Amino acid sequence: MDTGELNAISKQILEASIEVHKNLGTGLLESVYEVCLYKELRQKNLYVQRQVVLPVKYKTELLDLDFRIDLLVAEEIIIELKAVDIILPVHEAQIITYLKLADKRLGFLINFNVTKLIDGFKRKVNNF
């Protein structure tokens, strides 16, 4: 997928996130925002997967554990959702790690526990 397509989908993700935030506000669980954002993105005819398993490998060995990507859009963009008072460095490290492990170029860390969603919307890249 080229940069122009990724940017177009990014715009749709931002619009859908704002719509969810406008309708639900703050104070809910991440899982609620996840389901609603999933529905909004599907209404935009985007291919979206929820709770995508991300296996963990150590050297050459596949470990008996995995991470879960909240939302994967168009098999290219990782979305990690939060509903916290403040985004911590560990949250940003989490999305960056997911990007590297999944070999994806673009991700969004979205915190719905903010007054204006744009303040909780962070774009992260991996070799983009």
The pLDDT value given to residue 128:
58
The pLDDT value given to residue 57:
84
The pLDDT value given to residue 56:
86
Provide the residue-wise pLDDT of the chain in tens; the chain has 128 residues.
888 999 999 999 999 999 999 999 999 999 999 999 999 999 999 999 999 999 888 899 988 888 999 999 999 999 999 999 999 999 999 999 999 999 999 999 999 999 999 999 999 998 75
H, E, C per residue of 52-111: EEEEEEECCEEEEEEEEEEEEECCCEEEEEECCCCCCHHHHHHHHHHHHHHCCCEEEEEE
Which helix H or strand E contains 43, and what residues bound it? Answer: helix 30-43
Q: Any idea where the domains of the chain sit in the sequence?
A: 3-125
